[in-house]
A and B are shown apart, each in its own frame.
Chain A
């Protein structure tokens, strides 16, 4: 089946720094990818839709200047958390739809801890 990877799986950064998270579709191309955030013991909340070749679209309440998304190629989307704060600590998950069966394939997630 289709596989989506994320890197890194866990990152710790200091407050005020930026951190980049990569999402890759390993064996299929994805013109669209999605980024979610999951706080402990809570559900996944859609943050933004990453579009290859165009700007990302952000959900209401998500700061586009803080969460920079770049869909560099048909297999790679990156989420950069800029000027990170402790409240940005969360589990970030990406997904990519495979047109073949119209399923979303989820990455394993990246745990971000901001100290």
Chain B
């Protein structure tokens, strides 16, 4: 079945530590891939996207993600987390139909 999986429901990291949020997808062809962040009471903000080309994608706020076709993964990374990064992170795919399918989300807590 087609799906987007974010295996980690909740992650806690210390401020200044590195971060990796996992995302796996299950679609026949490589869909368009996205990472969004949602702060409490806020709308979705696009962090980065992958359509084709270079598999390492740079986004806003110091985030990057790497597309690995062999693993059907699109993991989000940040070398040094700031307290303001605490939020809910969603991986999403667009299987070329124009509609988004979202993962369950990963809630990030940042310890001081």
Contact = CB atoms under 8 A, between A and B. Distances in A.
A72 interface: no
B99 A44 contact: no
Nearest to A6: B43
Given A43-B104, A44-B90, A103-B49, A93 B98 contact: no
Contacts, number: 42
B32 A102 contact: yes
A84 B47 CA distance: 35
A46 B100 contact: yes
Interface residues of B, number: 20
B99 A108 contact: no
B25 to A, nearest CB: 14
Interface in A32-61: 32, 34, 36, 41-46, 49
24 contacts: A32-B98, A34-B98, A36-B102, A41-B107, A43-B103, A43-B104, A44-B44, A46-B99, A46-B100, A46-B101, A49-B98, A93-B44, A95-B100, A102-B32, A102-B51, A103-B46, A104-B94, A104-B100, A106-B36, A106-B43, A107-B43, A108-B42, A108-B43, A109-B43
